[in-house]
Structure 1
Amino acid sequence: MNVVPEPLPGGSKLARDYIGHYEAVDKLYGGDFRNEMSRRERAEWLDSTELQRASRIEVTSVLRGYNQQHNNYPEVMAALALLEQPGTLVITGGQQSGLFTGPLFVIYKAVTAILAAKEAAAQLGRPVVPLFWIAGEDHDWDEVNHTFVLSRTGEISKLKVDKPEGPRASVSAITVGPDGWQQVTELLDGMLQESEFKPQIMEFIRKSAETACCMSDAFAKLMGSLFGRFGLVLLDSADPALRALERPFFATLIERNDELEVAYKQAAENITAAGYELQAEVTPGNANLFYIHEGARLLLHKTDDGFSDRKGTVSFTRDELLSVLKEHPERFSNNVLTRPLMQNYVLPVLATVLGQGEIAYWAIPHVAFGVVGDRMPLIMPRMSFTIIEGTLHKHMNKYGLSFNDVYAGLEDRRKEWLAAQDELKLESRFNEVKESFTAIYEPLIEQLGTIQAGLLKLGQNNKEKIIDQISFLQTKAQDAMEKQNEAALRQWERIELSLMPAGKLQERVYNVMYYLNRYGLSWLDELMEMPADFSGTHRILYM
């Protein structure tokens, strides 16, 4: 595998500046991730504020129970034993639980966290544990219930698990039955071509489904199959045992909700004043907390005397809400702006791994960290890749295509190439015929008009019909040209479908299972052996 940097435009201006011009945005974040001094200062801060967080003994106990169930590998248990000890830090990455792990960038986020933890441990001379935060409390089922695979026929194929009847619940609370898992697993089996690695891949997919009651469980088991041997600890944010430990911080989020709203608003004003667009909405009156009512996840808003959802299904005074929290912490859930704060309360987070969109919206809770007596963790841009297989690379060289050509769109380049194959110069010759015919025929039509006015209109209609017939023949000739070059055009199409499916980066569409089926689990070992690069630069993996 050969790795080549390929910087790409894209992402929000705020994220681009964070990655490439940190000095322009330093007041909106918690420190420069590239700076060793920033890492040491963050580590010292975490040491000095150990007692402000949840008990690491209790948190580790919860994580041990969860990982023994879904991610029971010696390396993971060793990482948890380290996490139990004072002074051990964490680098987190996270994502919603997706079908068969979701798109490739989820894999790259986990890889980044593991490599970043290894580098930080060596740099700081202390244990740093990688942890993947599964956002099982999120309720957007339509975002996680499907994935896309490059099928054996070279097409973009969608796999989907239908949602059972029920309320708009957290993903971890939605049960997926054996029939649903069996159906989607068989579909995947049919889409993947036969390979020496397929039996192993399908075995751990089936095992993940057999004992999973929900999408988050299956996701955790698959992530464990891939990354447990590298010591990646898994956490489900919807874990009821974890929620009980979060109770004190939920109380803080309720009690200081007005201050937090002011902080979010202030950060939003700072972002826009610096010339950047907001990447998440800061809504007045939004409590930025969810309440679970009869299985449904309801967003709370502030009222004159407390909190309520928009429809008034639930309503509480502040004291009533705190009382419910005391008895039922499992009924509470974070949103996108309070989750970063909660993550810091639960774990000694040295840094968190984020994609460009996440980097941009994480600037919004920047001020809020101070409200709860905390500081924003460092942010590591996740690694970003496009995989180019050997055959595709040969085809790209054959047609003189770079990755940037594919990224920009191949339609014009494809037309240019096809035109170059036209030795008869059909387009120019047909155009000449049309021009010559028009030049000869139009004077005759005008003369016919002097005989009878109706002949002028008839002549014009006749001319258009003849031109249409010439164009029809031209189209047929063009079709014949394309058919003559059909094999080559399929290669162009395969290049585009593989690298930029539906006009999007490969990592944002395709699932990892196609690539594991082609190259085996050793492909992950190769990723882990790459030199760490946290610059945010997109890279090409030439297989």
Structure 2
Amino acid sequence: MSQTKPALNQRIIPFGKVPQLSARDVAYATADRRLAPFYKYPVSLAAFEAVMRDKSKETTNRKVLVEVLQEQYEGLAPSAATKNHIQALAQTGTFTVTTAHQPSLFTGPLYYIYKIASTINLARQLAAAYPENHFVPVFILGGEDHDFQEINHLQLFGNTISWQQEKGGSVGQLPLHGLQQALTAVEEVLGGSPKAEELKGMLHNALSGKSRYIEVARHLTHQLFDTYGLVILDPSHPKLKRELAPYIKEEIFNQPSKALVEAAVRGLEAAGFSEQAYPREINFFYLGDGFRERIVEADGHYVVLNQDIKWGKEALEQEIERHPERFSPNVVMRPVYQELILPNLAYIGGGGELAYWLERKAQFEHFGINFPMLVRRNSVLFIDNGTAKRIGKIGLQAEDLFGDIEQLIKDYVKAHTENELSLSEEKEALQALFKAVEAKAEDVDPTLVKAAAAEGARQLNSLAQLEGKLMRAEKQRHDTAINQMRTLKDKLFPGNGLQERSDNFMMFYLKYGRGFFEALIDQLDPFQEGFLVLEDA
């Protein structure tokens, strides 16, 4: 497989100048003091000494973790780096840094890849800074989610490719009906270049011999990142859920999370930030064949919604003991579960993810689990050489395209015209004129003041319309540049959103091959503050 690493030029755009990011995302990424009460550690390399000390006080069941990982890696032929990382997890001096994502169709949007690259970069930095310890980059596949519409599609060169199937329940347990058709659609878009054939080979390997979708997602991600020692974990394993059993009972029978998270939400709201995730009295689903449904308390029983399943308290305790794997944490309990089963130091996530982690600190304290460092993954706008040249040819910088395209066009036209397009002076003169007319009307007949004011408003509106016509006429003289700007905006910001939330990595693999990942891992330093613009040099 191709290993050529592209040479990239990096520029940083301050988070506050990226309108596509939420206010809370920018606040956390820039260490806004209003959020300080809601996290435990500052985001710095030096702070990991304290995180390691605190996490070492817990007893992670490393034996079970290693057993599960070895079982899940059977048949995947892991690299020496990955094997070494799995074996090292048995030792108390080994820690993890973790990210997680749903098993999106053939990785889905680019930030699936960026999360992993940021995590591998962080593990490498920690290994250099703390050579007496071992650090493992871990990717958790959240296959228990049941929103199929969130994971069943990808965007490739403007084409939306979807996986269609009818069965419900956890997406990781779905059979592969219809997945071959999605793969065929991808292959048609990829073409027949050598790198396209590499991709097709990996996709076919991922599907070959599999029966559940989680296996496909794990195998594909393994092929992409195994060289770098990434450890991929499916947390649905019964042995891992066994570790969670006491916490399932605590959450279902005592229901502590709702009040704790709601108190955090009130604090965040007082600081100017809105609620991110809604906590329920019971924050677990029950898993069955083709379903994942909420557990609720009703009429003295514990009931599975939309199913003919209910227990008394004693019967439910027995079910948790016998089959903890059937109990699936929702977004409120999932972070607790992740940190319970891993010797983890940091969670690397996007702004939306970290927003709900910021509601969890008191909840973690209640359960006696250390709250990890929250590290914002890198956000990236990736620009190939041809696109970079087109941007430069019309005198723009990449950061100009983040804003409103219509305003950018107006600014461009004003900067490149020899004509005066603004009628602001004329508007001011007209307003002054009609103020004088209103004053004279007041002296002659006060009932005429409104008529004078209305006539002034009409005249101002006429001037505004004429100003718009002047702008449109001038725009026609710059049609070529304006069309280029619109094309560039659509390419780099699909649907006026961020590229990383839409486009799939295969677009870039076709040009750079595996070197694309090499470059990302080098460039995506999660301690770097700001939005990265990476341009092909």
TM norm structure 1 = 0.81
Cα separation, partners in 2 of 1:370 and 1:148, compared to 1, 3 Å: same
For residue 330 of structure 1, report the CA deviation from its aligned partner: 2.1
Unaligned runs of 5+ in 1: 151-155, 426-473
Whether contact under 8 Å (1:298, 1:309) holds in the other structure is yes
Partner SS, residue 245 of structure 2:
helix
Q: What is residue 197 of structure 1 aligned with on the other side?
A: 195
* Contact 2:102 2:145 survives alignment (8 Å): yes
CA shift in 2, pair 1:412/1:17, >3 Å: closer
> In the alignment, which residue of structure 1 is the partner of 2:423?
none
Contact in 2 for aligned 1:195/1:518 (Cα 8 Å): no
1:99-498 correspondence runs (5 A): 99-124=105-130, 125-150=132-157, 156-163=158-165, 165-166=166-167, 168-177=168-177, 180-255=178-253, 257-283=254-280, 286-303=281-298, 305-311=300-306, 313-414=308-409, 491-498=484-491
The amino acid across from 2:133 in the alignment is R
AA at the equivalent of 1:356: G
Query: Which SS does the other structure have where 1:287 is aligned?
Result: coil
1:515 aligns with 2:508: yes
Instruction: Give the match's secondary structure for 1:27.
Output: helix
Helix, strand or coil at the partner of 2:374: strand
Q: By how many angstroms is 1:310 displaced?
A: 4.5
1:24-65 C-alpha deviation (Å, 9 max, x unpaired): 3221112112261x3212211221212xx3x20111110111
SS of residue paired to 2:354: helix
Deviation of the 1:421 alpha carbon: 9.7
Q: How far is 1:331 from its partner? A: 1.2
Say if 2:89 is the partner of 1:76. no
Residues 141-171 of structure 1, C-alpha deviation per residue, up to 9 Å, x if partnerless? 0000000011xxxxx11010002x33x3001
Tell me what 1:526 maps to.
Answer: 519
| Partners of 1:264 and 1:365 within 8 A in 2 | yes
Alpha-carbon distance in structure 2 between the residues aligned to 1:270 and 1:378:
20
Q: Is the 8 A contact 2:111 2:500 kept in 1?
A: yes
The residue that corresponds to 1:445 in the other structure is: none
Rounded to whole Å, the distance in 1 between the matches of 2:411 and 2:185 is 38
Superposed displacement of residue 15, structure 1: 2.9
Using the alignment, how far apart are the partners of 1:536 and 1:301 within structure 2? 42
Instruction: List per-residue Cα deviations over 1:382-403 (Å, max 9, x = no partner).
Output: 0111111111111111112222
The answer (yes or no) to whether the contact 2:101–2:140 under 8 Å persists in 1 is yes
CA distance in 1, matches of 2:325, 2:98: 23
Structure 1 position 94 matched with structure 2 position 100: yes
What 5-or-longer segments of structure 2 have no aligned partner?
1-7, 421-468
Contact 2:97 2:137 in 1 (8 A): yes
Post-superposition offset of 1:344: 1.2
Larger displacement relative to structure 2 (15-24 or 408-417):
408-417
Residues 70 and 217, structure 1, Cα contact 8 Å, conserved in 2? no
Deviation digits for residues 341-366 of structure 1, max 9, x if unmatched? Answer: 11111011100101001111112221
Q: What is the alpha-carbon distance in structure 2 between the residues aligned to residue 202 and residue 66 of structure 1? A: 24
Tell me the TM-score normalized by structure 2.
0.82
Aligned to 1:15: 25
| Contact 2:169 2:291 (C-alpha < 8 Å) held by counterparts | yes
Mapped partners of 1:531, 1:140: distance in 2? 29
Residue in structure 2 matching 1:30, options 28, 40, 47: 40
User: Does the C-alpha gap of structure 1 residues 195 and 416 become closer, same or farther in structure 2, counting only changes over 3 Å?
Assistant: farther
Contact 1:381-1:535 at 8 Å conserved across structures: no
SS of corresponding position for 2:156:
strand
Cα deviation for residue 536 of structure 1 reads 4.6
Please name the residue that 2:9 is paired with: 2
**Local SS of the residue matching 1:2:** strand
Match of 2:294, SS state, is strand
Q: In 1, Cα distance between the equivalents of 2:15 and 2:57?
A: 40
- Bigger drift between 327-336 and 195-204 goes to 195-204
Q: Which amino acid is 1:21 matched to?
A: A
CA displacement at 1:312 relative to structure 2? 6.7
Residue 376 and residue 420 in structure 1: after superposition, are their counterparts in 2 closer, same or farther (change >3 A)? closer
CA RMSD of aligned residues (A): 3.0
State the secondary structure of the residue aligned to 2:78.
Answer: coil
SS of aligned partner of 1:376: coil
Q: Give how far 1:193 is off.
A: 4.7
State whether residues 249 and 345 of structure 1, in contact with CA within 8 Å, keep that contact through their aligned partners in structure 2.
no
